Structure 1
């Protein structure tokens, strides 16, 4: 269970899926749009895929809310697990609902097992008006769990989120002009602290093109690249 929760948190926090819409330049708000990313290990070998499909788009007051269905497969093509999450877009600013990272069905199953879970945090935000040198707001999420008198907390803090530069990047899906966003992340769980740095290549009208994660000492941990998309 700990590994599943940790994977859910990191898979979202290091990933920005995107396409153009009247509200957001980056996040897709069209039902049926789909995106596939190929993950690579530190040696550059394929290490599985993550697929996203926008299953629902709806209006909630002045905000437009989109739901993403997410599927993880390992390097052999075997399904690992499926999940979903949602975000809202209002006045050109995207915010993520952290609680939606944990689907209601999964939450119900854990509740029936006697697990109590409390999720809190500061939404991650991505504005339309990105500029080189811009500093973006920090974000964090904390999951407090309790079961049979045993408590466990998992927290992820995203800091030093900066728009570093613009550059062209090529993947198997094509060549794209991107903003490069850098950030630091600190994950705390079970008495352990994991510090990482990441780079995100983000293209208007398509979204996340490439993402790389590094150890605190600068050594590459993994990367993910857009390998197919349909919108």
Structure 2
């Protein structure tokens, strides 16, 4: 149970970083009704599952714009696993995400009833509008501290050496997109173990993430996620 929960935490952290952008509009459309489907593949190119996002609300709160996303997770056979939602706000070109809202409410209720206490902290990832090849981006990190039944568990993810490598065309089942390729290193620490990985992230203006690939320290592919459907 603990392993499954930690896996979910890490998946949601990665998803958060994918969408946390310095502008609410240039790399991601803020239009109610817009929907996105991402399919996850393992290292052998077999489907592991999918995530479906829908922007259900965009509203103004003072000088900030706030968007709410509904998420549906499905397994490799298309069976619903769970649903959740989260929101982010953008003000003066800076996005802020409520990390706790990323955790599925049904799962959180279950673990809260079991006595789980959780604290999330860190530095949000930033992605400026004026990307250019060779540009070095700021580091980011997030730490999740959990306590349950007297057992403490900490999960931390550091994202370093973030760099805009190049621009290139990427084709997925959703279409062909002109993308920025961003590379970065990840260091995950949990339960006494340190895991070093790296990712390649392809971003398109007006769409957001088009493809993401994760690699082991030795350079071998671990998994791939790509946009398979998009409407707005």
TM-score (norm 2): 0.89
Counterpart-to-counterpart distance in 2, 1:154 and 1:139: 14
Structure 1: runs of 5 or more not aligned: none
Counterpart-to-counterpart distance in 2, 1:18 and 1:150: 31
Residue 139 of structure 1 aligns with which residue?
140
Structure 2: runs of 5 or more not aligned: none
Residue 90 of structure 1 aligns with which residue?
91
Q: 2:18 aligns with which of 1, 13, 16?
A: 16
CA-based RMSD of the aligned residues comes to 2.2
CA gap 1:162/1:107 in 2 versus in 1, 3 angstroms:
same
Tell me if structure 2 keeps the 8 A contact 1:95–1:124: no
Deviations 1:191-231 (CA, angstroms, capped at 9, x unpaired): 12121100111001112111100001100001011111111
Aligned residues: 229
Displacement of 1:182 in angstroms is: 0.7
Displacement of 1:135 in angstroms is: 1.5
Q: Secondary structure at the match of 1:127?
A: coil
* 1:50 maps to 2:51: yes
Tell me if structure 2 keeps the 8 A contact 1:201–1:211: yes
Q: Secondary structure at the match of 1:110?
A: helix
Counterpart-to-counterpart distance in 1, 2:69 and 2:56: 6
Residue 211 of structure 1 aligns with which residue?
212
Residue 195 of structure 2 aligns with which residue?
194
Deviations 1:20-51 (CA, angstroms, capped at 9, x unpaired): xx842012311111000111111112222111
Residue 170 of structure 1 aligns with which residue?
171
Residue 226 of structure 2 aligns with which residue?
225
TM-score (norm 1): 0.90
Counterpart-to-counterpart distance in 2, 1:18 and 1:114: 30
Tell me if structure 2 keeps the 8 A contact 1:25–1:205: yes
CA gap 1:88/1:47 in 2 versus in 1, 3 angstroms:
same
* 1:71 maps to 2:64: no
Counterpart-to-counterpart distance in 2, 1:126 and 1:182: 13
Deviations 1:132-183 (CA, angstroms, capped at 9, x unpaired): 1112211111111112211111111111111111001111111110000111
Residue 126 of structure 1 aligns with which residue?
127
